[in-house]
Amino acid sequence: MTVQKGLIIIPCYNEEVSISKLLPEMKCIVLPQNITVDILVVNDCSTDNTSSIAKQLGAIVLDLPVNLGIGGGMQTGFMYANANNYDFTVQMDGDGQHPPSELIKLITHYYNSNANIVIGSRFVIKQGFQSSALRRIGINYFHYLNKLFTGKSIFDITSGFRLFDKKTINIAVENYPDEYPEPESLIIFSRANLQIEEVPVIMRERQGGQSSIRNFAQWYYMAKVTIAMIFSSIRK
């Protein structure tokens, strides 16, 4: 039986409260016998104890010298996965919204399908934490914008709970969006003819810290991502 190596990438900025809860949970998950996973915390120049706590709890930690945002943190993780020959990666948020117990759903779907990317979706069966009403409006807007550009219906388009196969990793190493990458990256992956599928998962509220997308930043987020999606859909 061939053993498959997976890398859990957790980009973090000032998540000392939630990461101290999340990493012990990760140790409790039971994976199929032919799968092993390592946990990589990409510390995005945090000013709290995120890095030291993650190291104490046994994670591989990469400390970025400057703050790069989620996109830069994830691309760093993809580069690490590529250099160390991992078969797949899984993106999880450092705020604890993605329960480790739901990870098996993404992995099972991946191995039972032809998908290159599996997205953990809140909106397939609509259970668990559904985000705020304003954010759901934005997510619905990006759903239709993505459908316009790619012809694909992806309902939880901003979900940061995703599995990527080796082919996707190779693309992301060279070409992955910065700052708010989730919606734009799906256009890039769609144009590369990758198979993208959703699987229902149950998420929960943030377990500590504060979101970087609040108040005025939500409108900035929508405007910036809209422009980025347009350019990704038309560039060579």
Over residues 72-128, the pLDDT tens digits come to 999 999 999 999 999 999 999 999 899 999 999 999 999 999 999 999 998 766 655
Using CA atoms, how far apart are residues 139 and 54, in angstroms rounded to an integer? 31
Calculate mean pLDDT across residues 173-191.
Answer: 92
Beta strand extents in 1-134 (DSSP E only): 4-12, 35-43, 60-63, 88-91, 117-121
Residue in 166, 158, 176 with CA at minimum distance from that of residue 75 = 176
What's the chain's average pLDDT?
Answer: 89
**Residue ranges of the domains in the chain?**
4-234
Beta strand extents in 50-96 (DSSP E only): 60-63, 88-91
Single-letter residue type at 179: E
Q: Which residue has the tokens 């509220």?
A: 205
The DSSP call for residue 90 is E
Q: What are the tens digits of pLDDT across the range 158-181?
A: 999 999 999 999 999 999 998 789
Q: Is 231 helix (H, G, I), strand (E, B) or coil?
A: helix
**Stretch (H or E) spanning 33:** none
Give the largest Cα separation in the chain, rounded: 52
Residue in 12, 21, 76, 24 with CA at minimum distance from that of residue 50 = 12
Q: What is the CATH architecture of 4-234? A: Alpha-Beta Complex (3.90)
Binning pLDDT at 50, 70 and 90, where does residue 23 land?
very high
